Each structure stands twice: as C-alpha cells, then as structure tokens.
Structure 1
Amino acid sequence: MVFFPLTHQIPIPNKDIISWIFDDPKYYQDEPMYIDAQTPSHSISLSQARILVKKLIAGFHSAGLQKGDCVCIHSFNDIHYPILVLGIIAAGGVFTGTNPSYTPFELTHHIQTADVRFVVTQPEMVGSVLEVAGTCKIGKERIWVFDVLGEEVPDGLRSWRSLLGVGERGWEGFDDEVMAGDVVAARLFSSGTTGFPKAVDISHRNLVAQHVLTQEINKKPWKQIRLFCLPMFHVAAVPIIHTSVLKAGAPAVIMLRFDLAQYLEATDRFAITEWYMVPPMVIAIVMSPLAKNYSLRSVRNVSIGAAPLSRESQRALKGLLDERAIVTHTLKTTIQRASVASYQIPKQNHKLIDDNGNEITTYDTPGERKPPSLFTTTPNQAPVYIRGPTVIKSYYKNAHATSQTLTPTSSLATGDIVYCSSTSQEWYHIDRKKELIKVRGFQVAPPEIESVLLSHPGILDAAVIGVKIRGEECPRAYVVRRPGRQWEALGEKEVRRWCEVRLARLGRF
C-alpha cells in the first residue's frame, strides 16, 4: 500500500546542479551570501562565487582532473569551502569531505573507499595527509594547501590559490533526465552502523530535488538568514550549505565550529532566522544561563537532527524563541537526502514492511494522534521504505550493501520505525530499528526511557543501552547527576522509583 498517493506532480529540473544554481538567480547577485561570523567583511556573493568557480574549473583541468575524478576536502569550516565544492563539481569531479580529526587509519579508509585522486587540506592537517598519501598513491602534485588564513605553505606543496591563477573556463552543463540521475556530484559516507562507513554516490538530481522539495514547495514567509556551524564535510551540510544558499539567496553566517557564547552572540548580531542543530547544541543552549543575555526572537525555524532529543528539551528551546518559531526534529540518512518521517514530501512514496517482508496495508487506529508507547506493541508500526528523487542509486562499488538497502524497484529501507495515522495523515517516527531493545519479544525504545530519566530534576544527562542478562536483553541506564549539594544523595533506588511510576514494566531497568 502506498500511503497518501499524490494527486499532482511536482516538476524536478533535469539540469546539472551548477547551471541550476547560477543560470537564473532571482535575487541581487552582489548581496553577500557566505559571511564569516568572526569577520563579517569577509564574504562571498553569487557574482563572486560564479567567477571563483570558473577559475577553479580552469585550475583543476590544468592539474589533470578528469570527469568522475574524486576530490577530497580535508578542512574545517570556511566561507570558501562551499566554493571549492562547487568548483570540483563544475570541473566534472566528485566532491567528498573528511573529518579533520580523522586518524591516519580513518583517513586512509575514506580516501581509498572513495577512490580519491586529489586532496585539498588545511595547513594543520598537512602532516596527516602526507602520512597516508603514499599508501593511497596520491603524489604531492595532487595535494593543495587550503591556506585561507594566509598560513605558510609547506615546502614542496602548492596553495589552493594556485588553482585560481590559470584563467577561467565554463562548465559543461546538461538538461537531461538520465544524466541528472546518473552523473555523480558528491561521494558522501554513511554512518557505518554495520561495519566501516560506506561511500554513497549522490547525483545532481538528488541535490536539486532535495532543495526543490524542502525549500521551494512551501516558501518561507521570513527572510532566510542561516547560522551554520555544523561541519561542512558532513552529509547533513551538503544540501543546506553547499547548494541551497546560492540557489535560494539565503545568506549563511559561517562559524568555524560550535561555541555557545559565539553562537548566541552571532544570532543576536546578525538577526539569524534559521538554525541547523544537533541535540548537544540544543542541550547546551537550554541548560546555560547565557541564553538569557541575548535576543533570540529573530529565529523562526530550527531544524534538529542526527540523534534523538527529548520532547522536554525541544519545548525548553522553543520557550526561548518567538512564539511563531518552528522547531523540527528530523532524523535523516545519507542515502535518502530528504526528511524520512517528519512530513510527507511530494514525489515520494512510503511503504511499511514488517520483519517478515510483508507489506502493511492498514493505517493506525482511527483517531490516534500521538505515537503509542513501544511497550505496548502497535501491530502496524514497521520499518518504512521510501522511493523518490532524493533516494540514491547505489553505494559506490558495494553491490552487497546496495542489495541490502535498496529493493529491485529502488525503494530504500530507511531503518526508521514509523506508523501512519489515517485521521491526521501524519507519520510518527518511533525509533531506529537497530537501536530498539527487544524485551521478552516487545520493542523498547531507549529514547523513551531517556526522556523519563531526563524529566527528573536531579538528572543532567542520561543514556540507555541494551544488555544481556541471563540470555535476555534488558535496558540499562547511565545517568549524570546535576551539580549541587541537593543532588549529592541521588542514587539508584530513587531513580528506579522515579521510572517505575512512569514506565511500563518492560521499560524498567
């Protein structure tokens, strides 16, 4: 059963991502789009970005980049990072990004798995790149130093600015449905919940569709000004910061990394309207007295993802913002670039498949508007399968992983446990399949227990895992006491009593 089949079609352009961004802008092209939070005079407009991209095309081609070659950026955040990404794609290459904190082992795995041929790295990471370059068969002539702060370039290497001194060259665009789905723009990595992280190819069409379906269907009634500190190599950053900023004309204030005081100050100073966050950022803000020292009333939209976050924390955050602010908690996957279960996205079909491979063809109980506790099994909650233009074609050079994730009809097994309401026509996300704990045959969700624990005034943080006791899986909780003399005596017995009156027996530890 396909839930809520579409009554109309949403056109997705078949253009390459570069032409789609630069060919027909709907805003003033000299307005700063990428703005340095520390030094706002350092900025890049659409007009400047277009010129830089053309220079990078000429530079990369002069260096020997061929169509389909993968280029790795090993760097912290910077306003020039997205320009490098677009330059790589415009030159016919494939972008991949790595975590600057990677060990040599992790960096080697990423470079070899993605078939990286060129690397752009910040000066402080040159040592680790050179350490693995030999193993990965990458010569110094294919390594550039991303000296954006004017740092000294080590002997034997070249600055990335040398790529800008070869001239300008246009990109080879296309407007073809097959090419849009087949030509790879980025090679991102899955979380590696089963083994090492795996490379996932993201097409031009995936990126275009991600923007159209999440940004253009429902236009924002406010001026979009984004504050961005999530790492730019991360899968969540790619559509938000590397493509949507210039397409939408939505300025982004860029931070090197998250710093609580600087984040709050930048929100106030730049009248930020959109936040993109992970749960630890939310917890830091709602738990800190600093939040009361700044005006956060300009924020209209908050998108939180990557990990579970309690309902109480979301409410606390919303209490700091304007009453019109929208706070959305969304879990996404690398291989399905749009939201899985927060709302129905046009041009995507959803199916529920149980553990036996049978399709669920009924809605949840009529009138049900909130997710049931997982301690009382709901028969029609199941892993969701999704198909649409944001779903990838395959893992890179990994047929086994592809067959385990995608059906023959290109439906993606998300691993998200959800159910669908017949009355509200909303999807309710319960948990990730691999994170559920099976207690005597019943599914128990760790976030549900964690939410109860975090509602105790003396508990600062909590985590719940599954452990084997006499061959049976049971939940085990780890908690952090809140600082203060009044909580020094808080112990296991009191925490157990707190949970016993709030959780069904299966959820107790």
Structure 2
Amino acid sequence: MSITTDIVSWTFGGEGGLSDPDKPILIDTADTTRALSHAQIKSYVRRLVAGLRAIGVAPGDCVCVNSFNDILYYAIYLGAIGTGARWTGVNPSYTAHELTHHMSMTEAKVLIVEPALLTTTLEAAKECGISESKIFVFDVHDENTHPHLQSWDVLLQHGEEDWVMVDDPYTTTATYASTSGTSGLPKAAFLPHSYLVSQAERRLYPKVPYEVQRLTPLPPFHVFATPLVPSSIHAGWPIYIMRRFDMAAFITSISKFAISETYAPPPVLLGVPQSPLCTKESLSTLRQIWTGGAGVKYENQLPFYEKLHPDAQINQVWGMTEAGWVTCVQWGEKSEDDSVGRPVEGFEIQIMPESGDLVTTDDTPGDILVRSRSLMLGYIQNPTATADAFYSPQDDSSHPWLKTGDWGFLRHGRVFIVDRRKDLIKVRGWQVSPAEVEGTLLTHPAVLDAAVVGVQLPDAVAEHARAYVVVRPGQEVSGDEVRKWVGKMLARYKVPEEVVFIDKIPKNSTGKILRRLLRTQDVPVGSVAAESGDHTVHKRDRGAVVVDERAGDESSSSSGSGSGDEDLERGEGKGGEEKIRAGTLARVKGSVVGVLRAVLARLKGLWARLFKS
C-alpha cells in the first residue's frame, strides 16, 4: 500500500462516497445536540487553517493543545496540521514541570488550552518564553477565567482557506507524540503523514454484519486513539465522544446509542463486568471491543464475554507510539488464547533471540522487531535515542527494523507478548515475566488489581519479585495466601517473595503500569520474614499498607522450570504522578515500624538458633 496524500486530505477524501454529508459524525455523549457532520468538520478545519495562518503560524511551527476530549478537539488537530505546522497534545494531568519539558522540547509556538488547565500551562509558558498573545482559551465547556487571554473563537473569524497538501507524506512530519516515560523525562517522536494515514486506513474494513456506531473514551493525544476519528470521518461512521471516562456513563452510552464498536484500556475492560449496570441487555449491540496499552489474559476477558452477544469479540491490540497499531485480532477470528493477534497490513515482524539472528520460527522467544514504511522518523533533539531505536542488518539494505523493547514469540502467525524486555525479572538465572504473574494474581477472588516489579537484592546482582496487590473492598487476604495461590499455577521461581498491599496501582491512561513509581517506593527488602510468624491478613482499609514477605519459604511449588508512555490515568488531576508517588510513599512509610519489628524478630530468632548450636 503506497500512501500519496496527507492526513487532512485523506480524512475528507471519502466525501464523494457519503450518502449524507450532513449526517452527524462526531457526537458528544453528554449532549447529543452538540454534533458535527462531515461538512461542518471540514468547515471548522478550513477556518482554523485561515485563523492560525493569520496569527503567524507557518509550516514547521508547533501548535500544542492541552484539553480534555471534545468533538471540536479534532478540528484543532486537523486544522493545525493543515497549516503545515506540527500538532502536539499533552495529558491534562501534566504538572507545570512536565509541560515545560514538553513545550520546550517541541518548541511550541501556539497554545490552545482549556480554562481549568490554564494555571499550570501559564506557568510553563512563562518558563518557555511563550507570549500570552499566543495562548488561546478553548472555552467550549467552561468560562474563560483569564479574560486578558483570547478565546479560541478569534481563530475562526478569518474566513476559510485550503490546507497544505504535502509533497512527500513519508518524510513530512505531522505530529509530535510523547513516548517512553518509563524512566527519566519523556521523549517526543516525529510522526509523518504516512504514519497517520496508514493507521487510519487500517481502521476501515469490509462490510460487517452490523451497523457501525463507535464510542471512544480514549484520550485524544494518545496513539491508541489517533486513527479512530479520522477513519470515522472518512467513512461517515458516527463516533460518540466522551469528554472523560466515567463507568456509568460509558455503559449507559453503549445502550442508549446502540454502540457496536468501542475501545477500552485494560482497567475499563476488567471493570465493566463488575458494574451493576453491566447486563446482557445493556451491551446487546456491542460487536467489537478493542483493548490495548497492556495485555489482558484470555481468562480475565471471560467475565466480559459472559455479558456480550455470542457474535461479539474482544480484540487485543499491540503497538507503540513509534509504530502505532502493529498487531490486532481481526473480525471473524475471535481469539481464545493470550495472543495480541496478527500483524496488520503493512507490518513485518521478526524475533531476535539471544543468538542475535532474526528468525520467524514458531515458539522462539526473543526481542520483537517490527518494520513498516510508515514508522516514526525519530525522536526530537535526541539522535542517540533515534539511532538506538533501530536495527539494520548488514545484509539488508531495505527499511530498518524498529526495536520494540518487547520480548515475545510467534505461533501460527500470531504474536505473543511475554513482557517488556527491561521489565523481565532475573530470579536465580530464570527470567520471570511480571505480566504473567500479574495475570495469575488477578484470578484470585480477593484481588482487584496487581503489579509486579523486580527488587534488586543486596548483592546487586540477583533479584526477586515483589507483588503490589489491591484487595477488593470487603475482602480479606494475607500475603501468604496470595503467594500460595500463585504457587499453585506457576513455577516456584515465579512466585513473588514479597507482597505489598496498596490502595491503587499507578497506571497511565491506557492502563499500562507505571513500574518506575513502584520501584522507587521505600519498602525494605526482606521486610517481613517467614520465621517471624507474621501471617497478617489484609482487609481493604483505606490508607493501610501491609508488607508481607515469605523469603526462603519453599512451601509453595508447582511443576515446571524453566519493554513507553508517561501519560497518567485520567481522573488523577494535575500533578497526578506526584500524588501517586507521595501517597504511596506516605502509606508505605507508615508501615516501617511494623517492618522493623518483624526484621528484629527474625534476627532474634537467628541469634537464638546460632547461640543454641
């Protein structure tokens, strides 16, 4: 598939095939009188192209948007790109520090900001030297609280102009997307027009045996969401847009608007069946649910499947900012394994095992490499990271391979993700996948959520696994019980040596666990020992954290032997990451006295045995 056009032209290129160009396409779930047709969206884009040019935006400049979701968000997105500028969106939960980093890195020239987010944005803009004359208030929901700043409406008062049609969609940058916040500050990837067009085009498909009505609660700045609205506009398929995710509103919208397709990060996928509003009747029109950002074991999808129509299917998506959607389960091929589907059109996948060779043989684990003509062009101001991201075999002169950082294998054409390469835990020489252990933990009836990280031991060489567990409200469970549960299903070396009970697992907006926050928590290694006799039962009490370890306890056994997003989950508000870190740290520190007592008890027992001998 060769791409010959820009993303704006492609988005509106299906106009000739639409039966009714005035049919509502972008619809606000909270107020369906707020809706935009194909013709109205196109008019808004052309007006924004004229308005942005009038204030001096030129090709190559950067327009930054800081807002929650809205039907008009996408007009700004396409309008900014249409001027030849580069669009970038930021997470509304960003602090001033994070905004400053992003705006400095992307060299943003114009900011369009929701009123509630102005305080942090203005602080960052001042730090970056951005004039307030270049800051426009996106006041479609809330009143402008800073009257000296101009409303975005002024950008719509300059008539309409055509958008820029690029000469080479493969080399012309359209957007900057944040990526790889698992350590340090995020990077930003150059995404060309070909990336955006190819991703949107793959969200179109042959006629399906149902009426396409889409619903998205996804944050518009995230690449999981990037193809959805352009493809809907192109095809004329209605897409209902949630301003922010709310479980009750999400389920109600599916029923009220006869939604047949929706998109959900794993926390939503796992949470919907637990809602009292979730019934077979309320989900009766759903036929396809795409989920991405983190893997969900098939076993953990079954509660959702119990509520769905027999023809419905849950489609796992695997991808990354640098490449977009790489694999997906396709309609008509319902997956009943833990794979993330097959490569989408235009992508090649190979495995690089420890030997360093590229292979496509089944069941050979290794680093996953992907190739496509429409990958990112590189990272802004970071040539070293760009070079490190790609691999070019000496005997291959075609397009380089992108190193995904994920470890997995192929089987019968499907891709199986074991874990992020850098997240794999080395236990006594064996590799342990946090995702595998987490999936097992989630099958325990008392466990609501879980995360697993590696903890380096004092010798600075070996590691063991630490599990962070969120207990279901009203349930009780001890760390020992949790470990025994895992030990029934996994090899002994995969069983976490420590269990930390916590109120909430820090995640980004697509449900990916922010392991770096958990790794930095001040939990002493070997905090509660088997010899101490402390089999504390943890009941879900707000603010309590129990650290429960059974180091050296080999009673749990089973047969067998044997790698970025920085966006925070919406709802955390401004400074979300700091709140997670501070709250978790405070709760963990609250258990230090108990931990020290347990350690002293173990030392006392060891001393007694030594003295006796």
With structure 1 as the length reference, what TM-score do the two structures score? Answer: 0.89
Q: 1:403 maps to which residue?
A: 387
In 2 relative to 1, CA 297–20 (structure 1 residues): closer, same or farther, beyond 3 Å?
same
1:219 deviation in Å?
Answer: 4.7
The percentage of counterpart residues that share the same residue type is 36
Partner of 2:169: helix, strand, or coil?
helix
Given the alignment of the two structures, is residue 360 of structure 1 paired with residue 348 of structure 2, yes or no?
Answer: no
- Look up the SS of the partner of 1:82 in the other structure: helix
Pairing 1:452–2:440 present: yes
- Matched with 1:5 is none
1:205 aligned onto 2:194: yes
**Range with bigger deviation, 251-260 or 355-364:** 355-364
Contact 1:145 1:153 in 2 (8 A): no
Query: Unpaired runs of 5+ in structure 1?
Result: 1-10, 365-379
- Report what 2:551 is aligned to: none
Aligned position for 1:184: 173
The answer on 1:66 being equivalent to 2:58 is yes
Q: Which digits, 9 at most, give the CA deviation of each residue in 1:155-198, with x for residues without a partner? A: 32111111111111112324x5xx11111111111032242110
Shift of 1:150: 5.8
* C-alpha contact 2:280 2:309 (8 A) present in aligned 1: no
In structure 2, C-alpha distance between the alignment counterparts of 1:323 and 1:508, rounded to whole Å: 36
Amino acid across the alignment from 1:196: L
Check the 8 A contact 1:338/1:390 in 2, yes or no: no
The structural deviation recorded for 1:214 is 4.1
Q: Which one of the candidate residues 377, 381, 406 is aligned to 2:365?
A: 381
Does the 8 A contact of 1:77 with 1:256 survive in 2? Answer: yes
In the TM superposition, residue 362 of structure 1 has moved relative to its aligned partner by: 3.2
After superposition, give the CA deviation of every residue in 1:265-304 in whole Å (9 maximum; x if it has no partner). 1110000111111111122212222213851011111111
Q: Work out whether 1:415 is the aligned partner of 2:405.
A: yes
Aligned to 2:604: none
SS of the aligned residue for 2:289 comes to strand
Pick closer, same or farther for the CA change 1:449–1:257 going to 2, 3 Å.
Answer: same
Which residue identity lines up with residue 349 of structure 1 in the other structure? Answer: E
Q: 1:257 aligns to what SS in structure 2? A: coil
1:204, distance to aligned residue in structure 2 (A): 0.7
* Change beyond 3 A, Cα 1:159–1:507: same
Deviation of residue 356 (structure 1)? 5.1
Q: How does 1:300-311 map to 2 (within 5 A)?
A: 300-311=287-298
2:468 aligned residue (451, 454, 478): 478
2:201/2:231 contact within 8 Å kept = no
Do the aligned partners of residues 154 and 478 (structure 1) sit closer, same or farther apart at CA in structure 2, a change above 3 Å counting? closer
Query: What is the distance in 1 between the residues matched to 2:203 and 2:408?
Result: 20
Structure 1 residue aligned with 2:279: 292
Letter in 2 for 1:40: T
Q: Work out whether residues 137 and 144 of structure 2, in 8 Å CA contact, stay in contact via their aligned partners in 1.
A: no
**Aligned pairs (5 A) from 1:116-127:** 116-127=108-119
Whether contact under 8 Å (1:311, 1:451) holds in the other structure is no
Summarize deviations over 1:49-83 as a string: whole Å, max 9, x none: 11111111110010000101110001011110001
Cα deviations across residues 109-131 of structure 1 (Å, max 9, x unaligned)? 01011111100001112222221
Q: State the secondary structure of the residue aligned to 1:412.
A: strand
Aligned partners of 1:361, 1:99: CA distance in 2, in Å? 38
Are the counterparts in 2 of residues 210 and 338 from structure 1 also a CA contact under 8 Å? yes
Deviation at 1:393, TM superposition (A): 1.7
2:376 corresponds to 1:392: yes
The match for 2:75 is: 83
Deviation at 1:383, TM superposition (A): 1.1
**2:224 aligns to what?**
236
Displacement after TM superposition at 1:508 (Å): 1.5
Shift of 1:221: 3.6
Which structure exhibits the higher relative contact order, with contacts defined as CA atoms closer than 8 Å and separated by 6 or more residues?
Answer: 1
Q: Is the 8 A contact 2:264 2:290 kept in 1?
A: yes
Task: State the 1:207 CA deviation.
Answer: 0.9
* CA distance in 2: counterparts of 1:481 and 1:53, whole angstroms: 48
Structure 2 contact 317–325 (Cα < 8 Å) conserved: no
CA distance in 2, matches of 1:402, 1:150: 40
* Structure-1 separation of matches of 2:418 and 2:323: 18
Q: CA RMSD in A?
A: 1.8
Q: Distance in 1 between matches of 2:146 and 2:481?
A: 59
- Give the equivalent residue in structure 1 for 2:550: none
Separation (CA, whole Å) in 1 of partners of 2:294 and 2:157: 43
Which of 446, 459, 468 aligns to 2:456? It is 468
Greater Cα shift, 318-327 or 407-416:
407-416
Q: Distance in 1 between matches of 2:362 and 2:130?
A: 54
Aligned partner of 2:424 in structure 1 is 436
Distance 2:179 2:172 in 1: 19
1:12 matched to 2:10? The reply is: no
Partner of 1:60: helix, strand, or coil? Answer: helix
SS state of the match for residue 119, structure 2?
A: helix
Contact kept in structure 2, 1:264 and 1:294, CA below 8 Å: no
Partner of 2:326, secondary structure, is: coil
Residue 193 (structure 1) aligned with residue 182 (structure 2): yes
Contact (CA 8 Å) 2:48, 2:80: kept in 1 or not? Answer: yes
Aligned mates of 2:91, 2:81 — CA distance in 1: 20
With 383-392 and 72-81 compared, the bigger mean Cα shift is at 383-392
Instruction: Return 427-436 or 102-111, whichever deviates more.
Output: 427-436
Residue 252 of structure 2 corresponds to 265
> Residues of 2 paired with 1:135 and 1:352: CA distance?
44
TM-score by length of 2: 0.74
CA distance in structure 1 between the partners assigned to 2:360 and 2:135 by the alignment: 54
Aligned residue for 1:404, secondary structure, equals: helix
CA deviation string 1:238-290 (max 9, x = no partner):
2223x222112221111111111111111100001111111111222122222
Q: Please say if residues 360 and 410 of structure 2, whose CA atoms lie closer than 8 Å, have aligned partners that are also in contact.
A: no
For 1:84 and 1:111, the matched residues in 2 are separated by 17
Deviations 1:330-384 (A, max 9, x none): 23210011224521222222221134533235333xxxxxxxxxxxxxxx21111
CA contact (8 A) 1:393 1:410 kept: no
In the alignment, is the contact (CA less than 8 A) between 1:96 and 1:233 conserved in 2?
Answer: yes
Q: 2:160 aligned to 168, 174, 190, which one?
A: 168
Q: What is the distance in 2 between the residues matched to 1:385 and 1:416?
A: 8
Tell me, which stretches of 5 or more residues in structure 2 are unaligned? 328-339, 393-398, 497-613
Partner of residue 319, structure 1: 306
Deviation at 1:445, TM superposition (A): 1.0
Partner in structure 2 of residue 501 of structure 1: 488
Candidates 125, 137, 154, aligned match of 2:129: 137
Q: In the alignment, is residue 249 of structure 1 matched against residue 236 of structure 2?
A: yes
- Contact conserved, 2:14 with 2:234, CA < 8 A, in 1? no
Letter in 1 for 2:468: Y
Which residue matches 1:374?
none
**Paired position in structure 1 for 2:344:** 345
**Alpha-carbon distance in structure 1 between the residues aligned to 2:14 and 2:359:** 44
Q: Look up the SS of the partner of 1:455 in the other structure.
A: coil
Quote the residue 1:151 is aligned against.
143
**Structure 1's 101 and 347: CA in aligned 2 closer, same or farther, altered over 3 A?**
closer
Report the Cα distance in structure 2 between the residues aligned to 1:361 and 1:150, rounded to whole angstroms. Answer: 53
Pick closer, same or farther for the CA change 1:126–1:495 going to 2, 3 Å.
Answer: closer
Question: Which structure 1 residue ranges, 4+ long, deviate > 4 Å from structure 2?
Answer: none
